[in-house]
Structure 1
Protein backbone atom coordinates (compact mmCIF):
# COMPACT_ATOMS: atom_id res chain seq x y z
CA UNK A 1 0.00 0.00 0.00
CA UNK A 2 1.30 3.45 -0.99
CA UNK A 3 0.13 6.87 0.22
CA UNK A 4 -1.82 9.05 -2.17
CA UNK A 5 -0.11 12.14 -3.59
CA UNK A 6 -0.81 14.96 -6.05
CA UNK A 7 -1.45 13.47 -9.45
CA UNK A 8 -2.50 10.05 -8.22
CA UNK A 9 -6.07 11.16 -7.56
CA UNK A 10 -6.39 14.72 -8.81
CA UNK A 11 -5.37 16.23 -12.14
CA UNK A 12 -4.44 19.70 -10.94
CA UNK A 13 -0.72 19.66 -11.73
CA UNK A 14 -1.21 22.79 -13.87
CA UNK A 15 -2.62 24.65 -10.86
CA UNK A 16 0.25 23.46 -8.70
CA UNK A 17 2.72 24.57 -11.37
CA UNK A 18 1.34 28.12 -11.24
CA UNK A 19 1.33 28.07 -7.43
CA UNK A 20 4.93 26.86 -7.38
CA UNK A 21 5.91 29.62 -9.80
CA UNK A 22 4.26 32.16 -7.48
CA UNK A 23 6.21 30.68 -4.59
CA UNK A 24 9.46 31.17 -6.53
CA UNK A 25 8.59 34.69 -7.70
CA UNK A 26 6.56 36.09 -4.80
CA UNK A 27 7.27 33.75 -1.89
CA UNK A 28 3.60 32.90 -1.37
CA UNK A 29 2.78 30.90 1.75
CA UNK A 30 0.84 27.64 1.98
CA UNK A 31 -2.20 29.60 3.19
CA UNK A 32 -2.01 31.94 0.18
CA UNK A 33 -1.56 28.95 -2.15
CA UNK A 34 -4.59 27.22 -0.63
CA UNK A 35 -6.69 30.36 -1.11
CA UNK A 36 -5.65 30.60 -4.78
CA UNK A 37 -6.21 26.86 -5.30
CA UNK A 38 -9.72 27.13 -3.87
CA UNK A 39 -10.47 30.17 -6.06
CA UNK A 40 -9.51 28.13 -9.14
CA UNK A 41 -11.79 25.26 -8.09
CA UNK A 42 -14.72 27.60 -7.51
CA UNK A 43 -14.15 29.42 -10.82
CA UNK A 44 -13.75 26.19 -12.81
CA UNK A 45 -16.82 24.58 -11.22
CA UNK A 46 -19.06 27.32 -12.64
CA UNK A 47 -18.81 25.67 -16.07
CA UNK A 48 -19.76 22.04 -15.53
CA UNK A 49 -18.61 20.76 -18.92
CA UNK A 50 -15.22 22.46 -18.66
CA UNK A 51 -14.80 21.37 -15.04
CA UNK A 52 -15.53 17.74 -15.91
CA UNK A 53 -12.95 17.97 -18.71
CA UNK A 54 -10.41 19.29 -16.20
CA UNK A 55 -11.24 16.55 -13.69
CA UNK A 56 -11.03 13.81 -16.33
CA UNK A 57 -7.82 15.16 -17.92
CA UNK A 58 -9.57 15.80 -21.23
CA UNK A 59 -7.78 19.11 -21.76
CA UNK A 60 -4.24 20.40 -22.16
CA UNK A 61 -4.94 22.89 -19.29
CA UNK A 62 -3.56 25.87 -21.25
CA UNK A 63 -6.76 27.88 -20.74
CA UNK A 64 -6.79 27.06 -17.04
CA UNK A 65 -3.15 28.18 -16.66
CA UNK A 66 -3.73 31.39 -18.61
CA UNK A 67 -6.89 32.27 -16.69
CA UNK A 68 -5.20 31.57 -13.37
CA UNK A 69 -2.18 33.70 -14.25
CA UNK A 70 -4.42 36.59 -15.30
CA UNK A 71 -6.55 36.23 -12.17
CA UNK A 72 -3.56 36.45 -9.80
CA UNK A 73 -1.85 39.40 -11.53
CA UNK A 74 -3.58 42.12 -9.48
CA UNK A 75 -2.25 40.58 -6.24
CA UNK A 76 1.00 39.14 -7.57
CA UNK A 77 2.33 41.27 -10.44
CA UNK A 78 3.75 39.22 -13.30
CA UNK A 79 5.07 39.62 -16.79
CA UNK A 80 3.64 36.65 -18.69
CA UNK A 81 5.05 35.59 -22.02
CA UNK A 82 3.60 32.87 -24.26
CA UNK A 83 6.28 33.13 -26.93
CA UNK A 84 5.93 29.90 -28.86
CA UNK A 85 3.52 28.64 -31.47
CA UNK A 86 2.91 24.98 -32.11
CA UNK A 87 5.72 23.59 -34.24
CA UNK A 88 8.51 25.70 -32.72
CA UNK A 89 11.66 23.51 -32.62
CA UNK A 90 12.35 21.99 -29.22
CA UNK A 91 15.86 23.50 -29.12
CA UNK A 92 14.38 27.01 -29.15
CA UNK A 93 11.91 26.11 -26.39
CA UNK A 94 14.67 24.46 -24.35
CA UNK A 95 16.94 27.50 -24.60
CA UNK A 96 14.18 29.81 -23.38
CA UNK A 97 13.31 27.56 -20.43
CA UNK A 98 16.98 27.31 -19.44
CA UNK A 99 17.29 31.09 -19.64
CA UNK A 100 14.17 31.60 -17.51
CA UNK A 101 15.10 29.04 -14.83
CA UNK A 102 16.67 31.75 -12.71
CA UNK A 103 14.99 32.26 -9.32
CA UNK A 104 17.78 34.63 -8.28
CA UNK A 105 16.69 36.89 -11.18
CA UNK A 106 13.02 36.34 -10.28
CA UNK A 107 12.20 34.38 -13.42
CA UNK A 108 10.74 30.97 -14.05
CA UNK A 109 8.78 29.00 -16.60
CA UNK A 110 5.56 27.02 -16.30
CA UNK A 111 5.16 24.32 -18.91
CA UNK A 112 3.66 21.01 -19.90
CA UNK A 113 5.69 17.97 -20.83
CA UNK A 114 4.81 14.56 -22.21
CA UNK A 115 6.93 11.58 -21.18
CA UNK A 116 7.38 8.69 -23.59
CA UNK A 117 8.93 5.29 -22.95
CA UNK A 118 10.76 3.11 -25.49
CA UNK A 119 8.78 1.87 -28.47
CA UNK A 120 5.56 3.59 -27.46
CA UNK A 121 4.12 6.57 -29.31
CA UNK A 122 1.59 7.63 -26.68
CA UNK A 123 2.74 9.41 -23.52
CA UNK A 124 2.88 7.64 -20.17
CA UNK A 125 2.87 11.04 -18.42
CA UNK A 126 1.18 14.32 -19.36
CA UNK A 127 2.22 16.84 -16.71
CA UNK A 128 2.59 20.55 -15.95
CA UNK A 129 5.57 21.72 -13.92
CA UNK A 130 7.72 24.71 -12.99
CA UNK A 131 11.34 25.40 -13.97
CA UNK A 132 13.41 25.93 -10.81
CA UNK A 133 17.01 26.30 -11.89
CA UNK A 134 19.60 24.89 -14.24
CA UNK A 135 23.06 23.45 -13.82
CA UNK A 136 25.33 21.05 -15.69
CA UNK A 137 23.01 18.13 -14.91
CA UNK A 138 19.98 19.78 -16.52
CA UNK A 139 16.85 21.83 -15.92
CA UNK A 140 15.64 21.19 -12.37
CA UNK A 141 11.91 21.23 -11.76
CA UNK A 142 10.05 22.67 -8.78
CA UNK A 143 7.41 20.00 -9.04
CA UNK A 144 4.25 19.01 -7.21
CA UNK A 145 4.51 15.29 -7.91
CA UNK A 146 5.91 13.01 -5.24
CA UNK A 147 5.41 10.02 -7.48
CA UNK A 148 8.06 7.30 -7.34
CA UNK A 149 9.94 7.59 -10.61
CA UNK A 150 8.76 11.18 -11.06
CA UNK A 151 10.72 13.56 -13.26
CA UNK A 152 12.58 16.28 -11.37
CA UNK A 153 15.28 17.13 -13.92
CA UNK A 154 15.16 17.36 -17.72
CA UNK A 155 18.14 17.31 -20.06
CA UNK A 156 18.11 18.95 -23.47
CA UNK A 157 19.22 15.73 -25.16
CA UNK A 158 16.09 13.96 -23.89
CA UNK A 159 13.72 16.22 -25.84
CA UNK A 160 12.05 15.63 -29.17
CA UNK A 161 9.77 17.75 -31.35
CA UNK A 162 7.06 15.12 -31.67
CA UNK A 163 6.01 11.65 -30.65
CA UNK A 164 7.54 8.72 -32.52
CA UNK A 165 8.63 5.19 -31.82
CA UNK A 166 12.09 5.54 -30.31
CA UNK A 167 14.32 3.01 -28.54
CA UNK A 168 14.79 5.25 -25.47
CA UNK A 169 12.80 7.42 -23.08
CA UNK A 170 12.21 10.98 -24.28
CA UNK A 171 10.11 14.06 -23.59
CA UNK A 172 8.06 16.46 -25.70
CA UNK A 173 7.35 19.99 -24.45
CA UNK A 174 4.47 21.34 -26.54
CA UNK A 175 5.73 24.85 -27.39
CA UNK A 176 2.28 26.42 -27.12
CA UNK A 177 2.12 25.17 -23.50
CA UNK A 178 5.07 27.23 -22.24
CA UNK A 179 4.58 30.35 -20.12
CA UNK A 180 7.66 32.37 -19.22
CA UNK A 181 7.16 34.42 -16.06
CA UNK A 182 9.07 37.27 -14.49
CA UNK A 183 8.47 40.23 -12.21
CA UNK A 184 7.73 43.69 -13.64
Structure 2
Protein backbone atom coordinates (compact mmCIF):
# COMPACT_ATOMS: atom_id res chain seq x y z
CA UNK A 1 0.00 0.00 0.00
CA UNK A 2 2.92 2.32 0.63
CA UNK A 3 3.76 2.34 -3.09
CA UNK A 4 0.17 3.26 -3.89
CA UNK A 5 0.27 6.14 -1.39
CA UNK A 6 3.49 7.36 -2.98
CA UNK A 7 2.19 7.05 -6.55
CA UNK A 8 -1.07 8.85 -5.76
CA UNK A 9 0.79 11.64 -4.00
CA UNK A 10 3.25 11.99 -6.89
CA UNK A 11 0.43 12.18 -9.44
CA UNK A 12 -1.35 14.79 -7.34
CA UNK A 13 1.73 16.96 -6.86
CA UNK A 14 2.43 16.90 -10.61
CA UNK A 15 -1.20 17.34 -11.71
CA UNK A 16 -2.79 20.39 -13.26
CA UNK A 17 -4.74 22.73 -11.01
CA UNK A 18 -7.96 21.35 -12.50
CA UNK A 19 -7.08 17.76 -11.57
CA UNK A 20 -5.98 18.85 -8.10
CA UNK A 21 -9.32 20.58 -7.67
CA UNK A 22 -11.17 17.39 -8.64
CA UNK A 23 -9.22 15.42 -6.05
CA UNK A 24 -10.04 18.05 -3.43
CA UNK A 25 -13.73 17.92 -4.37
CA UNK A 26 -13.66 14.14 -4.06
CA UNK A 27 -12.23 14.41 -0.55
CA UNK A 28 -14.90 16.97 0.41
CA UNK A 29 -17.60 14.63 -0.92
CA UNK A 30 -16.41 12.07 1.64
CA UNK A 31 -15.86 14.64 4.40
CA UNK A 32 -19.43 15.93 4.34
CA UNK A 33 -19.21 17.79 7.66
CA UNK A 34 -15.94 19.49 6.73
CA UNK A 35 -13.97 18.46 9.81
CA UNK A 36 -10.93 17.54 7.71
CA UNK A 37 -11.15 13.80 8.26
CA UNK A 38 -13.03 10.77 6.98
CA UNK A 39 -14.02 8.33 9.71
CA UNK A 40 -14.82 4.72 8.95
CA UNK A 41 -18.54 5.58 9.24
CA UNK A 42 -18.18 8.34 6.62
CA UNK A 43 -16.23 5.90 4.48
CA UNK A 44 -19.05 3.36 4.70
CA UNK A 45 -21.65 6.05 3.95
CA UNK A 46 -19.71 7.05 0.84
CA UNK A 47 -19.64 3.43 -0.37
CA UNK A 48 -23.34 2.87 0.31
CA UNK A 49 -24.27 6.17 -1.34
CA UNK A 50 -22.34 5.10 -4.44
CA UNK A 51 -23.99 1.68 -4.70
CA UNK A 52 -21.43 -0.58 -3.06
CA UNK A 53 -22.73 -3.23 -0.67
CA UNK A 54 -19.48 -4.22 0.97
CA UNK A 55 -16.80 -2.17 2.67
CA UNK A 56 -13.57 -3.78 3.78
CA UNK A 57 -12.41 -2.39 7.14
CA UNK A 58 -8.88 -3.59 6.33
CA UNK A 59 -8.88 -1.43 3.21
CA UNK A 60 -9.78 1.59 5.34
CA UNK A 61 -7.00 0.70 7.79
CA UNK A 62 -4.49 0.36 4.96
CA UNK A 63 -5.35 3.88 3.80
CA UNK A 64 -5.03 5.24 7.37
CA UNK A 65 -1.25 5.62 7.42
CA UNK A 66 -1.01 7.18 10.89
CA UNK A 67 -3.58 4.83 12.43
CA UNK A 68 -5.69 7.57 14.00
CA UNK A 69 -9.00 6.19 12.68
CA UNK A 70 -9.51 9.11 10.28
CA UNK A 71 -8.37 9.62 6.72
CA UNK A 72 -6.91 13.01 5.89
CA UNK A 73 -6.69 14.34 2.34
CA UNK A 74 -3.42 12.59 1.50
CA UNK A 75 -4.68 9.32 2.96
CA UNK A 76 -7.79 9.50 0.72
CA UNK A 77 -5.71 10.19 -2.41
CA UNK A 78 -4.82 6.51 -3.04
CA UNK A 79 -8.52 5.64 -2.93
CA UNK A 80 -9.25 8.43 -5.43
CA UNK A 81 -6.41 7.13 -7.59
CA UNK A 82 -7.85 3.61 -7.47
CA UNK A 83 -11.29 4.84 -8.48
CA UNK A 84 -10.00 7.04 -11.30
CA UNK A 85 -7.71 4.40 -12.75
CA UNK A 86 -10.32 1.69 -12.38
CA UNK A 87 -8.18 0.00 -9.78
CA UNK A 88 -7.53 -3.68 -9.82
CA UNK A 89 -9.77 -5.92 -7.75
CA UNK A 90 -9.59 -9.65 -7.14
CA UNK A 91 -12.20 -11.19 -9.42
CA UNK A 92 -12.82 -13.95 -6.90
CA UNK A 93 -12.91 -12.37 -3.43
CA UNK A 94 -13.28 -8.71 -4.42
CA UNK A 95 -10.43 -7.16 -2.43
CA UNK A 96 -8.45 -4.27 -3.86
CA UNK A 97 -5.18 -5.54 -5.28
CA UNK A 98 -2.22 -3.50 -4.21
CA UNK A 99 1.23 -4.64 -5.11
CA UNK A 100 1.70 -8.07 -6.61
CA UNK A 101 -1.28 -9.98 -8.05
CA UNK A 102 -1.95 -12.59 -10.72
CA UNK A 103 -3.50 -11.93 -14.14
CA UNK A 104 -4.91 -14.34 -16.70
CA UNK A 105 -2.67 -13.96 -19.74
CA UNK A 106 -5.47 -14.78 -22.22
CA UNK A 107 -7.72 -12.10 -20.71
CA UNK A 108 -4.83 -9.62 -20.60
CA UNK A 109 -4.15 -10.23 -24.29
CA UNK A 110 -7.83 -9.66 -25.12
CA UNK A 111 -8.36 -6.72 -22.74
CA UNK A 112 -8.56 -4.16 -25.55
CA UNK A 113 -11.45 -5.99 -27.16
CA UNK A 114 -13.32 -6.84 -23.95
CA UNK A 115 -12.23 -3.94 -21.77
CA UNK A 116 -11.20 -5.95 -18.73
CA UNK A 117 -8.81 -8.53 -17.39
CA UNK A 118 -9.18 -11.36 -14.89
CA UNK A 119 -7.07 -10.68 -11.81
CA UNK A 120 -6.59 -12.57 -8.56
CA UNK A 121 -4.99 -11.88 -5.20
CA UNK A 122 -2.20 -14.22 -4.20
CA UNK A 123 -4.45 -16.01 -1.71
CA UNK A 124 -7.15 -16.84 -4.26
CA UNK A 125 -4.62 -17.83 -6.91
CA UNK A 126 -2.70 -20.08 -4.53
CA UNK A 127 -5.94 -21.76 -3.43
CA UNK A 128 -6.91 -22.23 -7.11
CA UNK A 129 -10.30 -20.70 -6.45
CA UNK A 130 -10.54 -19.52 -10.04
CA UNK A 131 -10.35 -22.95 -11.63
CA UNK A 132 -14.07 -23.67 -11.49
CA UNK A 133 -15.33 -20.24 -12.49
CA UNK A 134 -12.78 -18.99 -15.05
CA UNK A 135 -12.39 -20.58 -18.49
CA UNK A 136 -8.68 -19.71 -18.88
CA UNK A 137 -7.43 -21.24 -15.67
CA UNK A 138 -4.26 -22.67 -17.16
CA UNK A 139 -2.02 -19.65 -17.52
CA UNK A 140 -1.56 -16.83 -15.05
CA UNK A 141 1.43 -14.57 -14.45
CA UNK A 142 2.09 -12.23 -11.59
CA UNK A 143 1.73 -8.55 -12.46
CA UNK A 144 5.47 -7.83 -12.55
CA UNK A 145 6.44 -10.78 -14.75
CA UNK A 146 3.44 -10.15 -17.02
CA UNK A 147 4.44 -6.55 -17.70
CA UNK A 148 8.03 -7.58 -18.39
CA UNK A 149 6.94 -10.33 -20.75
CA UNK A 150 4.50 -8.08 -22.61
CA UNK A 151 7.14 -5.37 -22.94
CA UNK A 152 9.43 -7.89 -24.62
CA UNK A 153 11.96 -7.75 -21.81
CA UNK A 154 13.87 -10.97 -21.24
CA UNK A 155 12.78 -12.80 -18.12
CA UNK A 156 15.48 -13.64 -15.64
CA UNK A 157 16.88 -17.12 -15.98
CA UNK A 158 14.94 -19.36 -13.68
CA UNK A 159 12.06 -16.88 -13.32
CA UNK A 160 8.90 -18.76 -12.43
CA UNK A 161 6.34 -19.32 -15.18
CA UNK A 162 3.48 -21.18 -13.61
CA UNK A 163 0.73 -22.97 -15.38
CA UNK A 164 -2.15 -24.81 -13.87
Task: Pick the TM interval, shorter chain.
Answer: under 0.3
After TM superposition, the score normalised by the length of structure 2 is: 0.24
- Name whichever structure is richer in helix by fraction: 2
Which of the pair has the greater relative contact order for Cα pairs under 8 Å at 6+ separation? 1
Highest CA radius of gyration, 1 or 2?
Answer: 2
- Name whichever structure is richer in strand by fraction: 1
